Structure 1
Amino acid sequence: MKIALLGQFGSGNTGNDGSLEAMLDFLRSSKIDAELLCICSNPEAIAKKYNIETISIRVLVSRGRWFNRINRILGDIPRQVIGFYTIFAQLNGLDLMIIPGTGILDDFQETAFGWPFVILRWCLAARLNGMRIAFVSIGAGPIRLPLSRLFLKTGARMAHYRSYRDKLSRDFMKSIGFDVSRDPVSADLAFGLPAAAESSRDNPDTVCVGVGIMAYSGWKKADEDGESIYRTYLDKIAEFISWLQERRLNVRLLTGDIVDRRAIADIMNMFPRNETNSGSMHIVAEEMTSLHDVMAQIAHTDIVVATRYHNVICALRMGRPVISLAYSTKNDALLNATGLEEYCHYVETFDVEVLKSQVEKMLAERARLVLEVKKGVAAFQTQLAEQEAYIHSILVDPVEQRGEIKDVSQLPQS
């Protein structure tokens, strides 16, 4: 059997790569004798990191002067046709394409002919090759652009198996007229990754707050108000960090994407070190290139305040109560399932004074909240185990000692 895994992997987003890693761990630990191929944004990085064969998700069509002229006259149709044929040829001989996790069915910071169109044409090429398609623990919504919605719904409709990482995603797809009657709800794949070891502290009485920073500039790509949105968000985060310092609480900054380095640098510049002001000396900002790195940072914290979805997941996986400053309701689904529903906020409207009061409340009730978090995470992991058992039963013969592979045509038809 030959299995392809498709996604925005290697692009610098730790959550995306963590979803790929979790799926690879499952496939490799199962008795599935399969050749694996990753179709991703950065083939070289993913091949080196996960020891897997890779190809680029981007299709480059050689262009000469005459081709460019003809292509322009014909409205880019020749380039698109050649690109699609290239994709079709690359998938020849493969049996199954898995899209593992990530918020694949939304259009955050995307145009219709960005990621939504990528999903459409790879799914179409897979179906024309006779492959089966599985969307596993995916996130969905919002999809605000009409053409993006058309592309993503059409691509998702071609899948033989779909599961969602939360009920919110499933409900969103249903709300836009998509048939979800046979689609189960599971959990985010990253909950299947191992937690980091807890950190020993020199001073056990010191309290540390993890603050997840994001280079957030609005939902739309190239939003005309993007810089203003970013600066407002950053100023409020800086005000919050100043308050934490006044309380003599340590701060450890967290990131989830390579683009967040800009926000980290800007925050650190707001707290310069000098002889009269300790400033950034109480702020730790270390490099993070994986969810394992993020969890290792969270091991030093008592509670977390975060914007990015997988920062929230890492905090929960480490048993830390979280306050969410989300840019969509996906974070709310996580907190609602872990007893933290009152700690949900929207990134563009959160009130710093409310945030301060909730930090004080969370620290006071931390012992109880930790139990709620661990209970919720255990439920997530049970959902993942059930999903893995189902996928395993489809791909591997029940007589496991023989290790015979089933025909992927046994994946349910959609």
Structure 2
Amino acid sequence: MKIVISGFYGLGNTGDEAILEAIVDNLKDELDNPDLTVFSLSPGKTAETYGVKSVYRGWRHDFKGKVKALREADLLISGGGGLLQDTYPTKFLFGPLPYYLLIVFLAKLCGTKVMFFSQGIGPVNSAWGKILMKVFANMADFITVRDQYSKDLLHKLGVNRPESVVTADIVFAFQKKEDQSCIESLPLKGDEKLIAVSVRPWFQHTAHYKQIAEALDHLIDSEGITPVFVPMEGHHDVRASNNVLEHMKQGDKCHVLGPDFSPNQYLNFISNCEMTIGLRLHSLIFSALVAVPHIGISYDKKVESLLKRSGMWDYSFPLEELTAGELIQNSRKVLAKRDELSSMIENNAREMRRDAMENIDLLKARFLK
């Protein structure tokens, strides 16, 4: 079976690279010698890393290569991840939302079937974005989404023609391989109580840097923790981590991991932690995967949806409601109940892994000849 995979790949985002790795590994396990081509911004690196074919994803280069790959394919997988949203500027045919939908349109012109795969939909607030969704998303042959909110939003946007099924983020089917490169890169004694911290820039919001800094300073004193920042999108998250450190009195007791580790290496690091405090969705998914209790700071419905499924929403916050005092209080609760919470998360993650594998099962049932 020949499959083209379209997503936010080759741009150094740990969450999206974890999505791709999970898709590729599980397709290779579940299908008989699949022929996989990935549209990537770094096609050479993507091909080498995942053992696939790869074509440059942008419109300005190798358009013929994309057309050729789609004409020869049996299926276009659009996803996973939060591709169909207009949080970032959408101007006519420029922006993430038009790009991914035009790839779908191109696939249909080439006679190729399309599956939206483990996607998180939205937000879609602009009038133009809503028009694009209604016209082009209805061209898909089948849809799986990672949460109920996404399915409800699709219907609200008028995307009703293809059947849609709620599954889970495909990263819950990630195949962890032992690799301690992250922890070995740090100057640790070995008896530290490690806390993973994942922060990110989010438009004009900056107050969370100071709130997290104050909470970490307090927890270093009261709980003896060693915070380690996990930059899941390269220099963007390194800069955000440094913004927190600049507000801290005890920044010298923290560490920042390098920005170039693989998703699997970051996952292995988080498995060594007592707890995670995270904005990045996939830092929280990684934590759930390895049964590490986590406090999420939700800047988007996708984060809230995940935290409700992992069982940790009661300890978490919407971004605009975050305060240092409540973060300290909830962190102490989580650390005190770590074993109990870890057991609960492990059970919930087991269910989400089953739901994540349903993405593959449904693909086979719908499209395998």
Please indicate, yes or no, whether the TM-score normalized by the shorter chain is above 0.5.
yes
**Structure 1 counterpart of 2:299:** 327
**Structure 1 counterpart of 2:60:** 60
Root-mean-square deviation (CA, aligned residues, Å) is: 2.5
Q: Distance in 1 between matches of 2:327 and 2:17?
A: 30
Superposition pairs for residues 236-315 of structure 1, below 5 Å? 236-247=211-222, 248-258=224-234, 259-271=236-248, 279-288=250-259, 289-315=261-287
From 45, 69, 74, the equivalent of 1:95 is 74
Q: Distance in 1 between matches of 2:155 and 2:268?
A: 38
Q: Distance in 1 between matches of 2:295 and 2:138?
A: 35
Q: Distance in 2 between matches of 1:53 and 1:24?
A: 11
**Structure 2 counterpart of 1:126:** 107
TM-aligned CA deviation for residue 384 of structure 1: 2.4
Q: Secondary structure of 1:214's match?
A: coil
**Structure 2 counterpart of 1:216:** 202
TM-aligned CA deviation for residue 197 of structure 1: 5.0
Say whether residues 1:384 and 2:356 are aligned partners.
Answer: yes
**Equivalent residues of 2:279, 2:297 under 8 A apart:** yes
Q: Distance in 2 between matches of 1:237 and 1:38?
A: 37
Per the normalisation by structure 2, the TM-score is 0.89
- The worse-fitting range, judged by mean Cα deviation, of 259-268 and 87-96 is 87-96
Q: Distance in 1 between matches of 2:67 and 2:190?
A: 59
**Equivalent residues of 1:252, 1:301 under 8 A apart:** no
**Structure 2 counterpart of 1:188:** 169
TM-aligned CA deviation for residue 88 of structure 1: 4.0
Q: Secondary structure of 1:348's match?
A: helix
Structure 1 residues 203 and 58: alpha-carbon distance in aligned structure 2, compared to 1, 3 A threshold: closer
Stretches of structure 1 lacking an aligned partner (at least 5 in a row): 63-82, 218-225, 272-276, 397-405, 407-414
From 126, 134, 141, the equivalent of 1:145 is 126
Percent of aligned positions that are identical: 23
TM-aligned CA deviation for residue 127 of structure 1: 0.5
**Equivalent residues of 1:99, 1:135 under 8 A apart:** yes
TM-aligned CA deviation for residue 174 of structure 1: 2.1
Q: Distance in 2 between matches of 1:126 and 1:324?
A: 37
Which amino acid in 1 is paired with 2:266?
Answer: V
Structure 1 residues 132 and 260: alpha-carbon distance in aligned structure 2, compared to 1, 3 A threshold: same
From 166, 174, 188, the equivalent of 2:147 is 166
From 334, 348, 356, the equivalent of 1:362 is 334
Deviation by residue 1:253-286 (Cα, 9 ceiling, x = unmatched):
1222122121123334455xxxxx8x33321211
**Equivalent residues of 2:55, 2:65 under 8 A apart:** no
**Structure 2 counterpart of 1:401:** none
**Equivalent residues of 1:315, 1:322 under 8 A apart:** yes
**Structure 2 counterpart of 1:337:** 309
Which amino acid in 2 is paired with 1:239?
Answer: E
- The worse-fitting range, judged by mean Cα deviation, of 20-29 and 336-345 is 336-345
Q: Distance in 1 between matches of 2:202 and 2:307?
A: 21
**Equivalent residues of 2:6, 2:100 under 8 A apart:** no
Structure 1 residues 335 and 360: alpha-carbon distance in aligned structure 2, compared to 1, 3 A threshold: same
Deviation by residue 1:175-221 (Cα, 9 ceiling, x = unmatched):
333327831111101111134659899665x532221111222xxxx
Deviation by residue 1:345-385 (Cα, 9 ceiling, x = unmatched):
12233111111110111111222111110111000111123
Per the normalisation by structure 1, the TM-score is 0.80
Stretches of structure 2 lacking an aligned partner (at least 5 in a row): none
**Structure 1 counterpart of 2:47:** 47
**Equivalent residues of 1:87, 1:125 under 8 A apart:** no
Structure 1 residues 342 and 131: alpha-carbon distance in aligned structure 2, compared to 1, 3 A threshold: same
Which amino acid in 2 is paired with 1:255?
Answer: P
Q: Secondary structure of 1:208's match?
A: strand
Q: Secondary structure of 2:116's match?
A: strand
Q: Secondary structure of 2:310's match?
A: coil
- The worse-fitting range, judged by mean Cα deviation, of 362-371 and 4-13 is 362-371
**Structure 2 counterpart of 1:411:** none
Which amino acid in 1 is paired with 2:225?
Answer: L
TM-aligned CA deviation for residue 90 of structure 1: 5.3
**Structure 1 counterpart of 2:3:** 3
Structure 1 residues 47 and 87: alpha-carbon distance in aligned structure 2, compared to 1, 3 A threshold: closer
Q: Distance in 2 between matches of 1:334 and 1:180?
A: 27
From 189, 214, 235, the equivalent of 2:210 is 235
Q: Distance in 2 between matches of 1:315 and 1:38?
A: 27
Which amino acid in 2 is paired with 1:147?
Answer: W
**Equivalent residues of 1:23, 1:100 under 8 A apart:** no
Which amino acid in 1 is paired with 2:362?
Answer: Y
Q: Secondary structure of 1:101's match?
A: strand
